Chains A and B, each alone.
Chain A
Amino acid sequence: MPPGSPPAPGVAKRRELPTAWRHFDPILMLAVLAIGAFGCLMVYTATRDQLEIAGLSPLYYVKKQAIFMVLGVGVMVVVSAIDYRRYRDWAAVIYGLSILMLLGVYVVGHKSRGAQAWFQVGSYQLEPSEIAKIGLIVALASYCATAKGSLSRRNLVVVLGLSALPFVLIYKQPDLGTALVLGAVLVAVLVVGGISARHMGLLALLAVVASVGVVHFGILKSYQQARLTSFASAPDQPSAALLQSVAGANEYNVAESKITIGAGGLTGRGIGKGTQTNLSYVPEQRTDFIFTAVGEQVGLVGSALLLLLFAVVIWRTWRAATLSRDLLGTLMSVGVLAMVAFQVFENVGMTMGIMPVAGIPLPLMSYGGSAVIATFAAVGLVQNVRMHRFS
């Protein structure tokens, strides 16, 4: 455990701790660490056989993921330690930096699999869109809190502007999934921040018109359309021939994903005993499709337990939001809540064929440093709000 994290109750009374740490949420902390540890196990089972075939260490990915976890916990502690009201003061800087990084990706970013989304830092990739999610949460919460629970039309315009900038930059990378996460955060912060019913209705109408327009005028790239619609047409028994086309590859992906989860049945096939996982029948399994490794190996019982852990995280985040001493803390927590809830629903729903394939990670489970660290930072923000509720 990093220094400064809460010791067991009872010990706390004997030592003089900074006041704030006494109100740290151990349940949230344990839930997050449990998910992260389980995620490491899943990343390991999903990658070891292919690594061995390639003649690499079977621990290659899980080691890196564990390092991300440790770094993430450190970031969480740092983010919790600094009073969240200081972030409001720095909101413009945080937001501005995240936008600059998004722009920077276009200049010096690393192009991979058709998307320009990363900075290459040594052997690691830094994904600014993950940082931008946190930046937007801080920015939106800080701005909306000033409206004291009643957002005027002018407030609304500013909020939409603040959101649109990163949305467009991320969408253009192209990373439609993360852009949609920003949308979810925006809606949640607006609802809790005090948007009027009339404005909400207008906004909804605008969203519908924009969506229709996007589809109608072909603004979505064809592979994006394929991904968004493939979940509905995935076959029961996929054939490798599907992989010849973009749309087919997505259908194949979803079909294998469903088979893999279904093969787990009630109690799963056992850790390390899932043939679909061991034989890597699910493309992108260690990242976006990590939930299939869960479904196959630990079945309905284990999958439901994982969803329960996410529910605990959301519940504790909701607690922090309700306990917050001010609207700023509430909105920051709500932003994080929306981010985590949307990502879990979209990601797990996608692997089960009820949501389009949008390519976003399952928080703390999917392999990937930026997302892991950003999620820990977000959890740190929630802890922060809770810790500073009396001071």
Chain B
Amino acid sequence: MTAPDGPSPAMRLTAVVVVVAALFAALFARLWYLQVIDAPKAQQAATNNGVRVIYIPAPRGEILDRNGNVLVGNVNEPVIEVSQQIAAGDPAMVARLAPLLGMTVPELTKAINNLQYSPYAPVPVLPDASPEQILYIQEHQDLFPGVQATTESVRTYSKMGRAAANIVGYVGRISQSEYQSLKSRGYQQGDEIGQAGVEETFESVLRGTPGIEKVQVDSQGNVLATLSYTPPVPGDNLRLSIDGRVQMVAEQALEQGMASARQTFDKVTNRNFDAPAGSAVVEDPTNGQILALASVPTYNPAQFIGGISEKHYAAYRDNPAHPLLDRTLQGDYASGSTFKLVTATAGLESGLITPNSLFHDTGVIMVGNTPAHNDNYAAYGWIDLPKAITVSSDNFFNTIGIKLWYGRSSYGEDYLQNVAEKYGFGHRTGIALPGESPGFVPTPQTYIEFHRKYPKDYPQTQWYAGNSDQLAIGQDELLVTPLQLANAYAAFANGGSLMRPQIAVDAETATRKVLHSYGPQVIRTIPLKSSWRDAMLQGFEGVIDNPSGTAYGVFAGTPLANAGLAGKTGTAQLQPPHQDTSVFTSFGPVSNPHYVVDAFVEEAGYGASVAAPVTREIWDALLGKALEPVSYSPAGSGGQN
């Protein structure tokens, strides 16, 4: 080497090597940091990277009626599914697929990019694919990578199931708020969840356990291997207390009764009855089991499969008769004279009357300065309690209400209301169905409170004797649901046990092994002396089998006239242009009551006119008699309420 000027090349070379050594030291230090100090975090991230969890929804359990008939089952529907990953990388395929499915490319792209689905699970884009579409895709699989024609398990409704739409309810996609509150219990976006009926209240029984598949995916989303697979466990079957046949008859009877009411002229409002809606309840008083809950008009639950269309939903929403409402437990009505069960019990319990004390019914009583007449200005003369029930004397029961009010210093001002509450009025029955109404029993306190809160809407400042007069015959502001009324009469029928109405009998496996039974529940016992009950029973029987009974004409001449049935008519009066609510409740056979049947028909007139013929039709089905078409029963002489 030649002599250098300044530092020698060897020294300069050393400088270069020192720099290089420093750089390598830096690399090693960084390597140490990443692979020793920071390694656990990186290892966790690497694990998360490669593993994807795919949830496989479990088929829901079936919903059966009490005899094991399938109300709601499952069926495998053809569906076309598209892989999000593959579609994203193959717009030409999407463009080919769209016209085949009858969609535009933006529509299909939107359907594919449904954020409710995991990017690793195929997205159903056409839930009800036609056989032609399925076949075309299967035959041209090379044209449609990432598209599969397959089947998915969806709900299917038998004829009985459709008649029980209000009971079985429907399922729908989980909403954002439901997802937020349920995700800790294993729910996923896009899951189906019960949205109404027992589908909602027995969700935990019906749902089953989703399967879990863990797959290894690469950075492109290619599934390389299945790491583990836990198959889905189908939900348990739910056996309801509903009798599908009786449910269908009840719905049919209501429709017939409403149709005949619409052909009948109403002299009060000078038009035909509107009869837009009705409901009926059948309950077994021995255990509170519900055999039928019919609400008309109803909806078609099959329209909710895979999400109801905007058009169908709007049709239900905008229908003035509110088909989505279950009137048996969400409908609030004045009970009319069926409330006399409560007033009779209160009169006997308070000692105001005895089972055979006589009352002189002149057809009118004075409430303060206002005369109160019986319906149709009828006067029944000397009557006892059974007769008062049979003919439905208003004056007899008005008098009990008024006397309780005037004697409130000794009875307490809520005496009548307290007896009503013992029969379950004013409180939810606690049936395992969503959205039940508590009804409403007005009291002197509610009058004061409502006036204080809403003085314009409630100008009356306090309770008067006239309010007791009206409450005693089930008019005015009293509100009951058809289920509450049936349950109150069930308590009377079984001797005083107020049961919690039951909709489900048990949860079963697919092979009908019982997993859990839902036993009867007594809410409370109503003290009913046998002498009281006998007298009232005599009155209720007379409604049907005594020629002066308000519903005698409905049953006379039919085999049911001598079947040992008892009942009570009710006519809830509404201000014109509204028409009266037709109410009838019944139970039997009186020696050992097994059924309570009631019916409410809106804007349809007297209880005996529509509701009683509807219940008669249901009784025919219950007692195995030949069915007769329901027709409007003309009012006889005397009161009919």
Contact = CB atoms under 8 A, between A and B. Distances in A.
A188 B16 contact: yes
B36 A266 contact: yes
Contacts of A283: 219
Interface stretch (B37-45, B162-170, B296-304, B537-545): B37-45
Interface in B2-40: 2-6, 8-10, 12-13, 15-17, 20, 23-24, 26-28, 30-32, 34-36, 38-39
A314 interface: yes
B10 A334 contact: no
Interface stretch (B46-54, B359-367, B522-530): B46-54
Contact of A275 (B31, B49, B220): B49
Contacts of A197: 6
Contacts of A338: 16
A262 B39 contact: yes
Contact of A194 (B4, B17, B34, B222): B4
Interface stretch (A79-87, A101-109, A118-126, A320-328): A320-328
Contacts of A276: 46, 49-50
B31 A194 contact: no
Interface residues of B, number: 44
B6 A150 contact: yes
A280 B13 contact: no
Given A192-B12, A192-B16, A318-B13, A53 B35 contact: no
Given A149-B9, A192-B16, A322-B10, A303 B31 contact: yes
A295 B24 contact: no
B224 interface: yes
B1 interface: yes
Interface stretch (A19-27, A30-38, A346-354): A346-354
B138 interface: no
Contacts of B9: 149, 192-194, 327, 330
B27 A281 contact: no
A279 B20 contact: no
Contacts of A264: 35, 39
Interface in A147-163: 148-150
A279 B35 contact: no
B216 A345 contact: no
Q: Which of B3, B5, B9, B26 has the most CB of A within 10 A?
A: B9
B220 A280 contact: yes
A50 interface: yes
Q: Which of B10, B15, B45, B222 has the most CB of A within 10 A?
A: B45
A279 B220 CA distance: 8
A237 B49 CA distance: 9
Contacts of A78: none
B219 A281 contact: yes
Nearest to B16: A188
B636 to A, nearest CB: 78
Contact of A295 (B16, B34, B48): B34
A285 B3 CA distance: 48
A279 B219 contact: yes
Given A148-B2, A326-B1, A334-B13, A352 B27 contact: yes
What size tier do the contact residues of chain A reach?
A: 35 or more
B218 interface: yes
A325 to B, nearest CB: 8
Interface stretch (A58-66, A218-226, A253-261): A253-261
A311 interface: yes
Interface string A199-242: 00000000000000000000000000000000000001100000
Nearest to A301: B35
A192 B6 CA distance: 11
A300 interface: yes
B216 A192 contact: no
Given A194-B4, A345-B24, A265 B13 contact: no
A70 interface: no
Contacts of B28: 304, 307
Contact of B217 (A262, A279, A322, A349): A279
A307 B27 contact: yes
Contacts of B41: 236, 262
Given A281-B50, A318-B13, A338-B16, A327 B34 contact: no
Contact of A279 (B27, B36, B216): B216
A191 interface: yes
B308 to A, nearest CB: 33
B34 to A, nearest CB: 4
Given A259-B45, A279-B217, A341 B36 contact: no
A169 interface: no
B48 A275 contact: no
Nearest to A145: B2
Contacts of A258: 34, 42
A295 B216 CA distance: 21
Given A260-B46, A279-B217, A352 B13 contact: no
A304 B220 CA distance: 31
A97 interface: no
Nearest to A196: B6
Contacts of B2: 148-149, 327
A49 B35 contact: no
A299 interface: yes
A304 B47 CA distance: 24
Nearest to A299: B35
Interface string B43-83: 10111111000000000000000000000000000000000
Nearest to A260: B46
A207 B34 CA distance: 32
A262 B12 contact: no
B46 A337 contact: no
B218 A150 contact: no
Contacts of A150: 4-6
A348 B25 CA distance: 12
A27 B2 CA distance: 29
Contact of A345 (B1, B23, B45): B23
Contacts of A322: 10, 13
B45 to A, nearest CB: 5
Given A49-B218, A304-B31, A149 B16 contact: no
B516 to A, nearest CB: 44
A263 interface: yes
B39 A266 contact: yes
A264 to B, nearest CB: 6
Contacts of A330: 1, 9, 13
Contact of A261 (B8, B17, B26, B35): B35
B20 A314 contact: yes
Nearest to B11: A192
Contacts of B224: 49, 53, 278-279
A310 B16 CA distance: 16
B16 A337 contact: yes
A259 to B, nearest CB: 5
Contacts of B36: 265-266, 300
Contact of B35 (A278, A303, A341): A303
A149 B28 CA distance: 34
A263 B31 contact: no
Contacts of A265: 35-36, 39, 43
Contacts of A259: 42, 45-46, 49
28 contacts: A53-B218, A53-B222, A149-B2, A191-B16, A192-B13, A236-B45, A256-B219, A258-B42, A265-B39, A265-B43, A266-B36, A276-B50, A278-B218, A278-B224, A279-B217, A281-B49, A283-B219, A296-B46, A303-B35, A304-B31, A307-B24, A307-B27, A307-B28, A330-B13, A334-B16, A344-B27, A352-B34, A354-B26
Given A149-B5, A330-B9, 13 more contacts: A53-B222, A149-B1, A149-B4, A192-B13, A196-B6, A259-B45, A260-B42, A275-B50, A280-B218, A281-B46, A295-B31, A325-B1, A337-B16
Per CB-CB distance, the 5 closest pairs between chain A and chain B, nearest first, are: A262-B42, A150-B5, A149-B4, A279-B218, A263-B46
Interface of B: 1-6, 8-10, 12-13, 15-17, 20, 23-24, 26-28, 30-32, 34-36, 38-39, 41-43, 45-50, 216-220, 222, 224
